[in-house]
Structure 1
Amino acid sequence: MEKAGTLTELARELFSDLDAERFDQLAERATDDVQGVDEISRRWLRGRAAMQTYLNGLRGNITGIHSELRDPTEAVWGDVGVLTATLEQTYSLSGRNETIVAPTSILFRREDGTWKFALLHSVPIPETANS
């Protein structure tokens, strides 16, 4: 039986790597066949190599990343688990400050006893204009 909070802890470590710009370490947490949504280019990234290329392209262009996961909920079925949460994130992209709120799903798969993320789906919801 999985200890409650395991996937939440892993997700927070993943975003901690992102915040600290430890992109190589972040990619090591992924499965070889990982898939994820890139919010900046609005496209899918498929495979660890594509993810590493994308992350390496962020170096020098993105700074001051700060990520918070709110209201995480997780479920585990054998060697597969899912975490859903709301990601609140701020960063500076090419000198422009950004703030996003994004419903987020992370699918984890246990490989050789180690949890790795296989899918990261996080799509920001645009703010509504209040007039």
Structure 2
Amino acid sequence: MKAKELLLRFALGGLAVVLSYVASVLLPWKALGGIFAAFPAVMIVAVMMVGISQGSDKAAAIARGSVYGMTGCAACVIAVLVALRATGLWWFSLLLGLLVWFASAFALFKLRDRVQEARSRT
């Protein structure tokens, strides 16, 4: 990956994170601020950069793969919310949420692989 691509990813991703934070602080409805906090900045930038450098087929593969991560985000949010209510420890809740995010996204990915293998055998 070229330095220019890395810098562009950093700038666009960082800008999206900053704008999401500003929206969550300035908006009077905190739930709406949470929606902005879940903005898929990384996915958008990744698909755009791969599309520019490697073409639409590779970009589509990145977008398909992001389904697992985005689904894992829902599991992460639920885990963090439950853990915060149960323990009141924000750091523990975030750590648990990250672990749940990765485990659920990876499990969904493996499940899809198994389903596709089963279909190809029939």
With normalisation by structure 2, the TM-score equals 0.30
Which structure shows the higher helix fraction? Answer: 2
Q: Which has the higher contact order (CA 8 A, sep 6+)?
A: 1
Task: Report the TM-score, using the length of structure 1 for normalisation.
Answer: 0.29
Which structure shows the higher strand fraction?
1
Look at both structures and tell me which one has the larger radius of gyration over its CA atoms.
Answer: 2
